Structure 1
Amino acid sequence: MEYLPIVLNIKDRKFLVVGGGNIAFEKINRLTKFTHNITIVSPDIKNELYDLIQKYNLEYIKSEYAYGMLDNFDIVIVAADNLELQKSIYHEAKSKGKFCNSVDMAEYSDFIFSSIIKKGNFLLSFSTSGTSPALAKYLRKFFEEIIPDEIEKFLEEMETLRNQLPKGKERQELMDKLAKEFVEKYFKNNKEGKK
């Protein structure tokens, strides 16, 4: 299966997560870094997930999933142990033009979750197209230690500059120069260590 790495604008998109266990908690915890427009459907939820619901004011429907519950949502994540339910929700989502991720079944998913580093507007994603999520996780941990926390402040400054300066060659050259200086300042030692 081929996956296209994209950064999707999810402003005003509604997420439905079916399930309340460990995997649902992991997916919801990751989603809250990007949106709080999340509804959870599950007859039971783990305590940590309840804490997330309270912290981010997420909606929780204490119920088994029933056909049609996904109608008012754009993206559906099925994190329930029931494989038949995963298949059923995927087919329903497809028939209604919704994106669906079934956490245990790549063949019933329109997308997969990559391992990510997010620092402000900086986002770095690692994926093995589902073949080894463990490798993606360890690569993320490695790079997380290398990427400086200062990148968040630098990007805020770049955004301010970008909005203040008129479009054109001079702005482009200045932005390029500043980005190059930032990378050289924080990554020079790594580069020299590889020589």
Structure 2
Amino acid sequence: MSLKNKKRFMAYFPAFIKLDNQKILIVGGGHIAYEKLEHLLDFTQDISIISLDLSGDMSKCIEKNKLSYEKRAYKEGDISEFGIVIIALDDIPLQAKIFAESKKYNCLCNSVDSVDYCDFIFPSYIKKDDLTIAVSTSGASPAMAKHLRIYLQNLIPDTIGDFLKEMKNLRKTLPKGKERMKMLDEKAQKYIQNWSSK
């Protein structure tokens, strides 16, 4: 197998991206664009939308969150000010065009349902306060990722947010060292054991 073919079958590397000072552009205004927007709003509101049309849900979400929206088609250069672009349109030639353009601006690109035009994919994820768990099948089965996410979500107790706040406070107030590491490790292990035994 050539290096080129090996690269094609490699899985996505799991990473959590800090979105501070990262402007995001969504191209499209339909149901899929709305799904992506809902996910992104869990982490940032620095989002702009360009689309000729909007679904009812998309329109309400933009208005509710006071997001920037331009009613027009995408044109070359629109991504020059953005760090991330989401292409939520079924127009494959346009996806290819924007993906190629994103390389010029060092902009991360996600094209819905077109892995060939993606630098990253949206995982199925759980977010409870400071806890975020992402599940991905590298595009092999989004349905499996979704159902695994639902299964895991049902295992996690509602008290996880309070526990993580307590742990964060302890990390800030206790002096660094092996004793702190041991105590925090034992505390986390005990918490998991208590919830898994119920």
The TM-score range, normalised by the shorter chain, is: over 0.9
Which residue of the partner structure matches residue 85 of structure 1? 94
Kindly report the root-mean-square deviation, in angstroms, between the aligned alpha carbons of the 2 structures. 0.9
Paired residue secondary structure (2:78): coil
Counterpart in the other structure of 2:68: 59
Please tell me whether residue 173 in structure 1 is matched to residue 182 in structure 2. Answer: yes
Paired residues for 1:113-132 under 5 Å: 113-132=122-141
Q: Does structure 1 residue 137 correspond to structure 2 residue 146?
A: yes
Structure 1 counterpart of 2:191, from 179, 182, 194: 182
Q: Displacement, 1:57?
A: 1.7
Unaligned runs of 5+ residues in structure 2 are 1-8
State how far apart, in whole Å, the 1-side matches of 2:172 and 2:65 are.
31
Pairing partner for 1:154 from 152, 158, 163: 163
- Between the aligned partners of 1:30 and 1:163, the Cα distance in structure 2 is 30
Specify the SS of the correspondent of 1:71: helix
| Cα-to-partner distance string for 1:96-125 (whole Å, 9 max, x where unaligned) | 211100012101100011100000110111
Structure 2 partner of 1:19: 28
* Structure 2 residue 59 is the aligned partner of structure 1 residue 50: yes
When the two structures are aligned, how many residues end up with a matched partner? 189
Amino acid at match of 2:96: K
Q: Normalised by the size of structure 1, how large is the TM-score? A: 0.94
Q: Deviations over 1:109-158 (max 9, x none)?
A: 00011100000110111100001000000101111111111111110111
Question: Corresponding residue for 2:5?
Answer: none
Which position in structure 1 is the counterpart of 2:84?
75
SS in 2 for 1:66: coil
- Shift, 1:74, TM fit: 0.2
In structure 1, C-alpha distance between the alignment counterparts of 2:188 and 2:96, rounded to whole Å: 46
State the distance in 2 between where 1:156 and 1:55 align.
29
1:37 aligns to what? 46
TM-score by length of 2: 0.93
SS of 2:17's equivalent?
coil
Q: Where does residue 114 of structure 2 map in the other structure?
A: 105
Deviations 1:36-77 (A, max 9, x none): 010010011111111111222211111100000001000001
C-alpha separation in 1, matches of 2:176 and 2:90: 52
- How far the C-alpha of 1:95 sits from its partner, in A, is 2.0
The one-letter code of the counterpart of 1:61 is E
Q: Could you list the runs of 4 or more consecutive aligned residues of structure 1 that deviate by over 4 angstroms after TM superposition? A: none
